[in-house]
Chain A
């Protein structure tokens, strides 16, 4: 079956530091890949997405590139802010196997001033 593996948190960074959150996936088909963010006490918000190999998703300074050869979709940001503190989830939908999102376990990011 499909699965998503994320680096375990928490990840603690100082403001303006560079962020990388690793995500790798297993899928039998050709998935679409997503990063969702969950702020404290809230639901999930779509951060960015990529639907085919070599696509780069980007939003709010975050970006991730769909790497089929390494089955990865790592999230990066050049300069984090305190307001980026949240839990980040990598997820996939396999395009030929229904509409179910499969999520990773989440990575908590804490940014200190």
Chain B
């Protein structure tokens, strides 16, 4: 059983560019959350998708947007990249009926903005 898979694993972008990160949830999971983990810090919640809609959002600007597809996979888009967007982006999946028990995380996408 494949766990949560994210692509790409590493990415280098220039300030002002746009980036798309992808996530496939663990089999049987229908809810996807995205987190940003800056170097040396804990992950910060960006948003969560369920039934192809954004269900909850953290304190991130509108430059951060997302999408969930009918197969439950998800994309995170960041526009007008800033140097401060450099971080590890983590995707987590869970089963909506059990969201308070545990989330499974992917290995993340390391984004470097230069």
Contact = CB atoms under 8 A, between A and B. Distances in A.
Interface of A: 4, 32, 34, 36, 41-46, 49, 51, 89, 91, 93, 95, 98-106
B99 interface: yes
Contacts of A91: 42
Interface of B: 4, 31, 33, 35, 40-45, 48, 55-56, 58, 90, 92, 94, 99-108
Contact of A106 (B41, B55, B56, B104): B41
Nearest to A49: B102
B55 A101 contact: no
B110 to A, nearest CB: 9
A93 B98 CA distance: 12
7 contacts: A43-B105, A44-B43, A51-B101, A98-B56, A99-B48, A105-B41, A105-B42
